[in-house]
Amino acid sequence: MLRGDNQAALYRAEKPGKHSNTKHINNKYHLVRHLVEDDKLSTLHVPTNDNTADNMTKPLARDKYSQLRSHLKVLPIAGTATAAADALHAATTKRNTGKRRTAG
């Protein structure tokens, strides 16, 4: 299963034939397309918000980073700044859940 958030790339992998903006690519580099044609590989669009690979390639807010990190089954190491920040964030979030903000 090939997962990705780039719909154009997934489209090119699924649709055989030359595309006007890929004419410069030599046919020997179309391995993914051939595997899809032969039903040896399937593709799946993954929304950017659920794309675990973004954790390694983009700067993310702490909440998003922690969410995607949990998908990888990676835990923060105790005693590190990340673990301390995660614990503080969890405590703050838990404490503020259910409280209403009032205009002052």
> Encoding tokens for residue 48?
């950017």
Average pLDDT of every residue of the chain: 72
Instruction: Note the pLDDT of residue 20.
Output: 62
Q: Is the pTM of this model over 0.85?
A: no
Compute CA distances 44 → 11, 33, 51, 86, whole Å. 10, 14, 11, 31
- Helix or strand holding residue 14 (H, E): helix 7-14
For residue 43, the cross-strand partners are: 2
Burial category of 17 from C-beta neighbours within 10 Å (exposed 0-12, middle 13-18, buried 19 and up) = exposed
pLDDT band per the 50, 70, 90 thresholds, residue 104: very low
Max mean pLDDT among 4-8, 39-43, 100-104 falls in 39-43
- Find out whether 83 and 77 touch, Cβ atoms under 8 Å: yes
Taking only the tens place, the pLDDT of each residue in 8-18 is 777 777 776 66
pLDDT band at 98 (very low <50, low <70, confident <90, very high): low
Beta bridge partners of 3: 44
Domain residue limits, the chain: 2-46, 49-96
d(CA 25, CA 36): 18
